[in-house]
Structure 1
Amino acid sequence: MTTNNILLMRAETFVHAGAGSGNGLIDLPIMREAHNNWPVIFGSAVKGAFRAKACPDGNLSKEQKNWFGNDSESGDGAGALMFGDARLLWLPVRSLNSHTLWVTSPSVLSRFARDMRRMGKTEFKDQNTKNLLSENQAATLRQNTDEKLNQLILEDFCLELISKNTHQANQWLESLKEQLCKKTKTNDLLGQEMEQKLVMVSDQVFSHLCTMATPVTPHVKLEAQTKANENLWYVETLPPETMLYSTLVCSDRLDKETDADTNKLFTGYVQIGGNETTGMGWFEVNRWEAK
């Protein structure tokens, strides 16, 4: 019998899961979904990161070969762990109302609910997203005690805050907070942060922020003797506090004796992406067994 899981992955540092060479102003862009341009980390990169965590010396034991499969040259079959793409749940964005806010959208939460249902978890339910928010509206979990302070500024957007607890969008955010806090080790702290920072905006605004609000950092290589600029390039990253989630299916080929080892593998921290030697790519991981 297979076991379905959700892996909650919260970035603790800047993350560069690169898509190769760029074709514009950004020399090293991040991975993105082709149909909506949202940031993503594809399943092959997620699997590779956990494989590296499981065997830091690079050599798979017989047990780990059953987990991840042999290398492509051996042709002995796939592994028993099946990884999905790490999809975006919220993106940190600069705001004049706060130092940063965590931004999501109806389509993001709707897809999260469908992925949860596919993994056998039905507590977080999908909702009708048609006309849920207009382009100039935003929903939060914060209690607005002053009706005059009903504007939210995200990057170059000035949005109107809808009344808390009187709108379907607010209730959806409340349900998301409840479900995530049940499955994280720092649930009290995460719940408090979500109340202060989590924001739902329209899909149109969210897509624009995903395209224009990700950090882009210049890197310079200096000539050794004169310290003159020898090369300049730009690297795109995901900011700290970005929340991603991935699906994980464990097939019945896994031995019960290895459950403790796999539980250890999918808790704590994992490094994904490039620039590991400069402290980038670290995620806190929480495993959410669904079925």
Structure 2
Amino acid sequence: MNPKIYHLQALSALHCGIGQSAGVVDLPIARDKATNLPLVPGSSLRGVLREELTAEDEASAKILFGPKGISGASDAYAGALALGDAHLLLLPVRALAGIMAYATCPFILQRYAKDAGVEEKIPQPGNNTALCAAGNVNVIDNKVVLEELDLNWQQSDGAAFWAKEIASTIYAGDDDAQQDFTQRFLILPDSVFAFLADTATEIRARIAIDQNTGVVAKGALWYEENLPAETVLWGIYALSDSRHKGDKLSAEELQPLIPAKALLQLGGKAGVGRGLVNFFSGGAA
């Protein structure tokens, strides 16, 4: 088994919910139990990938994901693809200057570096300080203002390294997009990022219209939480040798079946445009 890393980039608001209310939000997003950071369950991504690949090559999809139904012992085998949860890597945050910043923190970068196999020291911002590369567009009057938080800033070669490392994957081959990303990239203290990950997600109010009266139906007001567009997540997947009796392919031979890049619709609320994501595979874990 050869683990690899994958990335997700949200092109529209992304709602992978938990099916029950939490506090004032009727439909919250899924979060990690220990860290309370948003995530996308691997089961959600697995189902979407299976549908995508089945439309192109049903036989190959069965090798990767296993049979949809089991009629007997001859049909019972596990798929060759194991897919882990996608964890939050970058959270787009409203900024007073530059409109938006891509925020992360040392805790997340440490986990990401381990999974991505990158041996680079993780920069550690001081209290109430944001680390950034040269030419950051979020700096105004010697401050970085995110949502309602006023932060000091400090130029960091480490921040520049990680900005370029991530941008080269998400915006491969697009120098202008990589430069724009680097100029909006910030490494925040863990506590500041945790606060923003809890409070700076997108909350939308939804209503249902009574078709007979043309006004809001009684009790039909609810609030949905989404990860905002431009959010970036990462996870790990691994391929084993095929267990399909008719196709004894090795993990290396199965790798080309995983798309290097794909446009997927992930999570709920597809009818109102939620969940469009770019999926990127590749990179040793």
Residue 288 in 1 paired to residue 277 in 2? no
Alignment of 1:226-241 (within 5 A): 226-230=213-217, 231-241=220-230
Question: Unpaired segments of 5 or more residues in structure 1?
Answer: 165-169
Does structure 1 retain, via aligned residues, the 8 Å contact 2:15–2:269?
Answer: yes
Residue 64 in 1 paired to residue 65 in 2? no
Q: 1:209 aligns with which of 189, 196, 213?
A: 196
Give the C-alpha shift of residue 42 in structure 1: 1.3
Residue 139 in 1 paired to residue 131 in 2? yes
Question: Unpaired segments of 5 or more residues in structure 2?
Answer: 243-248
Residue 42 in 1 paired to residue 34 in 2? no
Post-superposition, which runs of at least 4 consecutive aligned residues in structure 1 deviate over 4 A?
Answer: 72-75, 254-259
* Partner Cα distance (2:227, 2:140) in 1: 34
Give the C-alpha shift of residue 70 in structure 1: 2.3
* Partner Cα distance (1:7, 1:228) in 2: 45
Give the C-alpha shift of residue 144 in structure 1: 6.7
Q: TM-score, normalised by structure 2?
A: 0.86
**Structure 1's 86 and 77: CA in aligned 2 closer, same or farther, altered over 3 A?**
same
The letter of the residue matching 1:149 is: D
The residue number in structure 2 matching 1:167 is none
Does structure 1 retain, via aligned residues, the 8 Å contact 2:202–2:227?
Answer: yes
* Partner Cα distance (1:96, 1:144) in 2: 13
Q: 1:159 aligns with which of 128, 151, 154?
A: 151
Other structure's SS at 1:134 match: coil
* Partner Cα distance (2:127, 2:253) in 1: 52
Give the C-alpha shift of residue 257 in structure 1: 5.8
The residue number in structure 2 matching 1:23 is 22
Does structure 2 retain, via aligned residues, the 8 Å contact 1:141–1:194?
Answer: no
The residue number in structure 2 matching 1:279 is 273
* Partner Cα distance (2:79, 2:174) in 1: 32
Deviation string for 1:236-256 (max 9, x for gaps)? 101111011121112132456
Identity %: 28
The residue number in structure 2 matching 1:267 is 261
Give the C-alpha shift of residue 136 in structure 1: 1.0
Give the C-alpha shift of residue 186 in structure 1: 4.2
Other structure's SS at 1:79 match: coil
Aligned residues: 271
Q: TM-score, normalised by structure 1?
A: 0.84
Deviation string for 1:105-134 (max 9, x for gaps)? 0101011011123xxxx3x4353x6xx223
The letter of the residue matching 2:271 is: T
* Partner Cα distance (2:136, 2:231) in 1: 25
Residue 150 in 1 paired to residue 137 in 2? no
Report the aligned-residue RMSD: 2.5
Give the C-alpha shift of residue 277 in structure 1: 2.2
Does structure 1 retain, via aligned residues, the 8 Å contact 2:129–2:153?
Answer: yes
Other structure's SS at 1:67 match: helix
Residue 176 in 1 paired to residue 126 in 2? no
The residue number in structure 2 matching 1:112 is 112
